[in-house]
Amino acid sequence: MSDKREPLASCTPYQDATLTQPSAVNPHPPIRVALEPYVDVKRAASYLSVAAKTLNEWARLRKIPAYQWGDGVRKTWRFKLSELDEWMQRRINSVRRPPLSERSVTREKEAH
């Protein structure tokens, strides 16, 4: 049995989906939520400005939020841009390591 998947189409970051349909039992209007599509490695790597190979490695090492797709030996990774954005924000708000130029100045001051 072959599981042929459609390629991800270009779409907006979020698409509306209806969770419930109005009926005689439930006369309330439908609830709408935003469903975010998964993006492939190429799109996610472009979003983060890193190489696709690097992003695959981070996903494999579980350094970044990612979802493994496929049943065979060659699995692929998919990502949600909102989760990548949250991941980057956590990195930006973490303790900043000084650049090499500042570290060498600090070492020179400590040596004297």
Tell which residue, 62, 45, 67, has the closest CA to residue 54. Answer: 45
The answer to whether the CB of 20 falls within 8 A of the CB of 4 is no
> What pLDDT score was predicted for residue 90?
86
Query: For residue 62, is it within any domain?
Result: yes
State the residue range of the domain holding 52: 36-111
The reported pTM is: 0.55
CATH number of domain containing 86? 1.10.10
| The amino acid at 69 | W
Domain assignment of residue 20, yes or no: no
| Domain assignment present for 79 | yes
Q: How many domains does the chain have?
A: 1
Find out whether 63 and 72 touch, Cβ atoms under 8 Å.
no
pLDDT (tens place) for every residue of the chain, 112 residues total: 444 544 444 444 555 555 555 566 666 666 666 788 999 999 999 999 999 999 999 999 999 999 998 887 888 999 999 999 999 988 887 776 777 777 765 555 565 5
In a domain, 2, yes or no: no
At 19 the pLDDT is: 54
